[in-house]
């Protein structure tokens, strides 16, 4: 698929027929590792939930009911970053965003992940509405990691609608 087409074809999917198989998920996660990061610090971390019983327990504990419904039949990736590294020097933030740089790097990583998933023929849904404390406990995520999103990955069951974007002039200024 041509890159522009891939970008347009990537949509948030809220209706899945099946979860991504393990080998494809590994390949997608492997692609995502190629994202750039602050001083190549690679502070992104992923927790993949693929076992059907674990998926059921995860959905129940971690997601509000509308996100459970939107991601039914998919597998899940919890994406986190290790705090106090990206944007930090000798334990102190180097400039005003502080740990936002870790979130920035994770966002780049996750964007690669979404596009790789689409290029493998799968779809995704980023879910920012999730219970971080429940996820931390369920997956034994260390205290020094910030949980950001849960990403559903699976096959689309129906064609998703395109969500309109602002005009370029609204979001870009040329000087």
Ligand X SMILES: Cc1cc2nc3c(=O)[nH]c(=O)nc-3n(C[C@H](O)[C@H](O)[C@H](O)COP(=O)(O)O)c2cc1C
Residues forming contacts to ligand X in the complex (CB under 6 A) are 11-12, 14, 67, 70, 125-129, 149, 163
Q: Which residues does residue 125 pair with via DSSP β-bridges, in sequence order?
A: 152
Task: Report, in Å, the least distance between residue 91 CB and ligand X.
Answer: 28
Give the separation between CA 163 and CA 118, rounded to whole angstroms. 17
Alpha-carbon distance of 116 to 30, in angstroms, equals 9
Spatial contact of 103 and 86, defined as CB atoms under 8 Å apart: no
Smallest distance from ligand X to CB 137, Å:
20
Write down the least CB distance from residue 11 to ligand X, Å.
4
Residue among 119, 103, 122, 110 at smallest CA distance from 43: 103
- Which whole-number Å values give the CA distances from 142 to 81, 82, 88, 169, in the listed order? 10, 9, 19, 43
Phi/psi at 38 (nearest 5 deg)?
-55, 115
Q: Is the Cβ of residue 113 or residue 125 nearer to ligand X in the bound state? A: 125
Q: Which is nearer to ligand X, 37 or 79 (CB)?
A: 79
Provide, rounded to whole angstroms, the least separation between the CB of residue 114 and ligand X: 8
Nearer Cβ to ligand X, position 4 or 53? 4
Task: Report the residue number, 70 or 99, with the smaller CB distance to ligand X.
Answer: 70
Question: Which residue is closest to ligand X by CB?
Answer: 128
CB of 18 to ligand X, least distance (A): 19
CA distance 79 to 29: 11
- When the beta carbons of 21 and 134 are compared against ligand X, the nearer one is 134
């Amino acid at each position: 698929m041509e890159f522009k087409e891939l970008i347009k074809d990537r949509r948030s999917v809220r209706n899945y027929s099946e979860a991504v198989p393990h080998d494809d998920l590994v390949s997608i996660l492997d692609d995502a590792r190629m994202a750039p990061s602050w001083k190549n610090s690679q502070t992104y971390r992923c927790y993949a939930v693929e076992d059907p019983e674990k998926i059921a327990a995860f959905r129940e504990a971690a997601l509000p009911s509308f996100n459970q419904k939107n991601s039914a039949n998919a597998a899940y990736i919890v994406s986190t970053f290790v705090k106090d590294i990206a944007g930090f020097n000798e334990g102190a933030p180097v400039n005003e965003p502080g740990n936002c740089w870790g979130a920035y790097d994770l966002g780049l990583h996750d964007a690669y992940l979404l596009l790789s998933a689409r290029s493998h023929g799968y779809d995704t849904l980023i879910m920012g509405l999730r219970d971080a404390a429940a996820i931390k406990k369920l997956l034994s995520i260390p205290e020094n990691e910030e949980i950001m999103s849960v990403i559903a990955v699976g096959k689309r069951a129906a064609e998703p609608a395109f969500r309109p974007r602002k005009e370029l002039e609204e979001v870009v200024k040329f000087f």
